[in-house]
Homo-oligomer: A and B are copies of this chain.
Amino acid sequence: MADYPEALEELVESLQQLPTIGPKSAVRLAFWLLESPEGKAIRLAEAIRGARLHIRTCSRCFNYCQAEVCAICSDKRRNPKTLCVVVQPKDIVTLEKTREYRGGYHVLGGLLSPLDGIGPEKVRIRELVERVDRELIEEVILALDTTVGGEATSLYLFRQLGPKVTVTRLAQGLPAGGNLDYTDEVTLGRALRGRRRLDDMN
């Protein structure tokens, strides 16, 4: 039985570690990396090293950045009195794409999950509470998943912050282009409870 040469086998195995890359995809990608112009393959190798070397977390909001403080935190035109709480840095880019929000962020780094041993001390809740006090924040917007873990974390944060500051969370309801037929009861129930006057829509 002939196998791939060692260096190729190692490449296939390294690729297979990646999420969503199975054995067949790993082989396809490995051959591409071997057969593409050398610059493209080396560019990827360099980019991996570069990202691990240069990317750090913002000392204020824990977003990814290359400086001490991220581009959002150092943008003077943004409202410093509002904080939007997200789980991971990726969520910030998703929210920024809406162009609806001009305040600051706070990256928790995870959701509370007592069964997995993730308690309040494992996510950045203490840092959030301290920041709310120190920066005299007026509104904290919770932009967490609407899963069990997300809801539990939102509730916990509300209990911590509710007495000091206005705590809001993203509206729940029908998605844009949504079809009543295909909407589950929980979402529909929340959409009903959260109904708004037509002249209140903006």
Contact = CB atoms under 8 A, between A and B. Distances in A.
Given A48-B41, A90-B31, A53 B20 contact: no
Interface residues of A, number: 60
Interface of A: 1-8, 10-11, 13-15, 17-21, 25, 27-34, 36, 38, 40-55, 63-66, 70-72, 88-90, 92-93, 96-97, 99
Given A2-B70, A38-B52, 17 more contacts: A5-B64, A5-B65, A6-B54, A6-B66, A7-B66, A10-B50, A10-B51, A11-B47, A14-B48, A18-B29, A30-B51, A34-B52, A34-B55, A42-B48, A42-B52, A44-B48, A45-B45
A28 B19 contact: yes
Contacts of A34: 51-52, 55, 64
B17 A44 contact: yes
Nearest to A94: B27
A93 B26 CA distance: 14
A56 B25 CA distance: 22
A-B complex: 10 closest residue pairs judged by Cβ atoms: A14-B47, A7-B54, A45-B48, A14-B44, A11-B47, A11-B51, A45-B45, A5-B66, A2-B96, A7-B50
Contacts of A93: 2-4
B17 A28 contact: no
Contact of A33 (B10, B48, B71): B48
Nearest to A12: B47
Nearest to A66: B5
21 contacts: A1-B97, A2-B63, A2-B70, A2-B93, A5-B54, A5-B65, A5-B66, A5-B70, A10-B47, A14-B40, A14-B44, A17-B44, A19-B28, A19-B29, A20-B25, A20-B28, A21-B29, A30-B51, A31-B88, A33-B48, A33-B52
